[in-house]
Amino acid sequence: MKQDTLYQYILGIADNSLILGQRLGELCGHGPTLETDIAITNISLDLIGQTRSYYQYAAGLSDEGITEDDIAFLRKEREYRNVLLVEQPNTHFGYVMVRQFFFDVFHLLFLKELQQSADETLVAIANKAVKEVGYHQRFSSDWIKRLGDGTEESHQKVQEAVNDLWRYTDELFYMTEADKAMFNNDIGVDLSHLKDTYYETITTVLSDATLAVPDNTYFQKGGKDGIHTEHMGYLLSDLQYMQRTYPNMNW
């Protein structure tokens, strides 16, 4: 493939949205209230919509005649490039919101940088997505404050989620070979440049929420290189079930 690095770079962005969208989609019909259920499903659909734009672009770069669906449903686990954070399970509502918040803050900073890319298609996708993600961050930040500064039980549960998911935040700034190459071509985003602002925002919201910022410095990574946590296989078996069981099935 002529533009293999760009192809890999796009998948690296899009897979985060696909996998987080899938995780949120699992909650459809299971949200804690009707209103929250609809809100979470809306966010899921925003993310999957973004994923489609990226995959359509990537499929067009490939010379193997593949479609967006092939990219979404027919890759092996090792070929997905999402960060470990987004594949973590919906353990309880505190985890759902903390995972969302940790990702949203990164996602918004990332898209604002991507708007400056030299690649017109990526700029167009970022321009549309940045408004959606601005709302996602507002929604998840609000919930972090509500839960943290809520009851004793909600505080304890959301703190547990913060402590457990903290180890996956550093990977957001890890740059793969494709990330570095695309940054050098003025197409990609310099992730390391986002890190300080990211942790400042996170710290401000956690403090407002009366939550403690974890001080552990042991971080996990691997997802961006295709090495996923044990949860990924189960997620993919759900996601890919239809295409694996009935190949080439259409609506």
Residue 144 CB, nearest approach to another protein (Å): 13
Residue 209 CB, nearest approach to another protein (Å): 14
Q: Which is nearer to another protein, 69 or 149 (CB)?
A: 149
DSSP secondary structure code for residue 150 in this structure: S
Q: Which is nearer to another protein, 142 or 164 (CB)?
A: 142
Q: Which is nearer to another protein, 57 or 95 (CB)?
A: 95
Would you say 45 and 108 are in contact if contact means Cβ atoms under 8 Å apart?
A: no
DSSP secondary structure code for residue 213 in this structure: P
Quick note: the x/- pattern for another protein over 181-200, rule CB under 8 A, is --------------------
Residue 194 CB, nearest approach to another protein (Å): 26
Residues 6+ apart with CB under 8 A from 90: 23, 26, 27, 96
- Site for another protein (CB under 8 A): how many residues? 13
Is residue 142 near another protein by the rule CB under 8 A? Answer: yes
Among the listed residues 33, 216, 217, 245, the single contact to another protein using CB under 8 A: 33
Helix 93-114 and helix 4-25: axis angle, to 10°?
150
Quick note: the x/- pattern for another protein over 34-63, rule CB under 8 A, is xxx-xx--x---------------------
CA distances from 72 to 21, 35, 228, 246 (A): 12, 29, 16, 15
CA distances from 201 to 102, 157, 213 (A): 10, 21, 12
Residue 178's nearest CA partner among 8, 61, 64, 50 is 8
Positions that interact with another protein (CB under 8 A): 32-36, 38-39, 42, 135, 138-139, 142, 146
